[in-house]
Structure 1
Amino acid sequence: MPENCSPLNAQLCAAPTTTPPDPTAPAPPVVVTLRDIASFVPAKPGNEMEPGGWAVEDLPANFVAAASVQVVSGTLLGQPADVRFTPVGYRWRHSDGGVLESGAPGATWAMLGQREFTTTGTSHVYADSGEYTVALEVVLRAEYRFAGSGWRAIAGTLAVAGDPQRVLVGDFDTVLTDGDCNANPSGPGC
């Protein structure tokens, strides 16, 4: 009996009513968050460009991300588990202020069947000569599984940064020559 039990405090005298747990009831679902998978680290994405490391003022430079589906194994909630990271978005931040977001990683001009310096879905044009940097972030969706079970989604996305890339931009002029300037350095236009 509770110590303050008296006829004036009848509710204190009543024994608490408890219902025994139903052994057939399903266990509450496990909720895994991005914080729970912090120890599962995906690889940094690659950040490539065409032409390699340089660009021509007022002409498109083409950027291509190298990121693919990855499975990282480890321990989650005290159990062996796998976490699968799937790229779902790409963001290039250019130091001239340009930002490009895409649902695709981009492709080389050759893969697209395009000539060099043509616009692509992931290209960027620098208006002025100088040295710039471009930083790539890949947005990943995460899923987990225990002991080979089916994949379960984790709410939210995770952004993983690649190494910044240096881009040297110059203004180039074309010059018409009569022949090979290496063979005839004093020829017209050489």
Structure 2
Amino acid sequence: MAGRRFLLSAGAGTAMAVALVCSVVAGAAAATDSCSDAAAALGCEVSSSLGPGDVILELVAEGGDTTLRPVAGPDSEQESDIDMPEEQAEPVLGAGDDLCSPIDPASCLFEPALPADPAAPVPGVVVTLRDIASFVPAGPGSEMEPGGWAVEDLPANFVAVASVQVVSGMLLGQPADVRFTPVGFRWLHSDGAVVESGSPGATWAVLGQREFSVTGTSHVYAESGEYTVALEVVLRAEYRFAGSGWQSIAGTLAVAGDPQRVLVGEFDTVLTNGDCNTNPSGPGC
């Protein structure tokens, strides 16, 4: 081996410290049996001889701290100036050697780090709703029955048309996707009423109900007239970069659709004797 050898003088209770120098030594002098076992486990040779240029390191405990000091060899007077041969400067204990314990060589033997989980959050990245302002989902659609009109004091049924959307773009300087999922629905009626629901609603036929039945998304207009209704859909957002899994973004946002016109009228029912078109003077006509 070119350069110096670094050897460890293992005092009482310090034999395991050979792990500190195994990456750069050819052996260890004055080692105990346990020190020899530790060195062998780490693939190091143990030498009992001290040659020219060799340095013996002693593990010294002072005030709860443990340090290595040269006690023999050419650099014994310079405690902190021990040169490591350049060709041996790279650690050999693996990815976890920065966590090695000077008194526990087993802690220096680490398995290789596993690849990052593609579904795991990107370290140090926190995405907010403000960051995805350029990712604009399409507004929702809205249907009602009866179509475009309603009867005073009878329920009109409203159904939202909205689904999951994925919008692509640039996020924090990287290509990304943002997924918007509807989680709430809100109908804003111009008579001041607000109808909120966790579902988009359904037609009377789908619900198995008769026309003008009350539903979870229906509304009753108390007076005749012309009204508007605007649908807002509450969205939950998630993002992903290329190769990563979906990550949630805190909070929700609302997207509004175009206002819808509703004509409300008053209708009376009467009993007639036959068809009023053919007998306009008949009873009830």
Q: State if a TM-score over 0.5 links the two structures.
A: yes
Letter in 1 for 2:161: A
Partner secondary structure for residue 111 of structure 1: helix
Q: How does 1:50-89 map to 2 (within 5 A)?
A: 50-89=145-184
Q: Distance in 2 between matches of 1:178 and 1:143?
A: 64
Instruction: Look up the match of 2:211.
Output: 116
CA distance in 1: counterparts of 2:124 and 2:191, whole angstroms = 47
User: Which of 187, 192, 203 is the aligned partner of 1:97?
Assistant: 192
The structure 2 residue matched to 1:41, chosen from 136, 140, 149, is: 136
Following the alignment from structure 1 to structure 2, what is the Cα–Cα distance between the partners of residues 115 and 183? Answer: 31
Give the structure 2 partner of residue 153 of structure 1.
248
Q: Sequence identity, in percent?
A: 86
What's the C-alpha RMSD, in Å, of the aligned pairs?
Answer: 2.0
Q: Which aligned segments of 4 or more residues in structure 1 are displaced greater than 6 angstroms?
A: 23-27
- Counterpart residue type for residue 120 of structure 1: T
Change (3 A) 1:183 1:36: same
Q: Which has more radius of gyration?
A: 2
What's the CA shift string for 1:127-159, capped at 9, x where partnerless? Answer: 111111111110000000111421000011010
Gaps of 5+ in 1: 1-22
Q: How far apart are the structure 1 equivalents of 2:127 and 2:189? A: 35
1:112–1:148 CA distance, 2 compared to 1 (3 A): farther
Number of residue-to-residue matches in the alignment: 168
Of Structure 1 and Structure 2, the greater strand share is in 1
> What is the Cα deviation at residue 47 of structure 1?
1.4
Which amino acid is 2:197 matched to?
A: S
TM-score (norm 2): 0.55
SS of equivalent to 1:41: coil
**What is the rounded CA distance, in whole Å, between the counterparts of 2:152 and 2:132 in structure 1?**
43
**Bigger mean CA offset, 123-132 vs 174-183:** 174-183
Aligned mates of 1:182, 1:65 — CA distance in 2: 40
TM-score, normalized by length of structure 1? 0.82
SS in 1 for 2:206: helix
Structure 2: gaps of 5 or more residues: 1-94, 99-115, 117-121
Letter in 2 for 1:137: E
